[in-house]
Amino acid sequence: MYLKGLDATGTDAGARYPAEIVDVGSGVGLPGIPIAIVAPDIEVTLLDRSQRRTSLAQRVARILDLDNVVVVQGEVGGSKASYDAALFRASLPIADAAQAFLGLTGPRGYGLVGVSRLDRRPEVPDPPEGVAFSLSAEGSDVLDSPFWLLRMRRDRTRHTGSDATHEL
C-alpha cells in the first residue's frame, strides 16, 4: 500500500517514485525494507530511536544486500536531512507526523501516514498550517478491510482565518 502511495502519478503504470524516502519509526524496517526490495532505485532511510530495532534493521539490510538502505538511530526531530517523501506507520499521532513531515521534506515533498485498517472512516484532525491532507481507503487483495492512507503535501495556497480548508 505504501509503494502505491509513493507513486507520484497516482497509478502503478509508469510510476514515478521519489528518489529518497525516510521511514519514520521504522522499527525493524516496515514498510521501508519491502519498498527497498521492490524499488531498488529508491534510497530508503530507516529512522528509529531504538538501538535494538535499528541493529536488527541493519542486519536485515545487510543479509538482503540492500545497498539502497541506510539505518539511522535517532529522534525524528534530530534529523537534518531533507527527503522527497516521509512515511509514518503508527509511529506518531497524525498532528505530530504532519509537523515532522514539514521538517523532513523539501518544498515538493510529500508524506504518507498509515492511519487505520478499520472499515469505518477514521477521524483525522485538521492539518497544521502549511500542510494539506487527503485521506483515501486503499483496497487490497490481501487485507480483508480497507487500508486508510493519509497523504500529506505542502499547501501552496494561502488561507486566512476561517478560509482554511483541507481535502478529505
Residue 79: its pLDDT value, please?
A: 83
Residue 167: its pLDDT value, please?
A: 45
User: Has residue 115 been placed in a domain?
Assistant: yes
Q: What is the CATH number of the domain that holds 72?
A: 3.40.50.150
Segments forming the whole domain that contains residue 144: 18-158
Residue 164: its pLDDT value, please?
A: 42
Total of domains in the chain: 1
Dihedral Cα 48, 29, 22, 152, nearest 10 deg: -100
User: Has residue 150 been placed in a domain?
Assistant: yes
Report if pTM > 0.75. Answer: yes
User: Has residue 118 been placed in a domain?
Assistant: yes
User: Has residue 56 been placed in a domain?
Assistant: yes
| DSSP 3-state of 69 | strand
User: Has residue 163 been placed in a domain?
Assistant: no
**Residue-by-residue pLDDT tens, the chain, 168 positions:** 577 677 754 545 555 789 999 999 999 999 999 999 999 999 999 999 999 999 999 999 999 999 999 999 999 988 888 999 999 988 899 999 999 999 999 998 999 999 987 888 999 999 999 999 999 988 766 556 678 899 999 987 644 444 444 444
Q: How far apart are CA 160 and CA 49, in angstroms?
A: 37
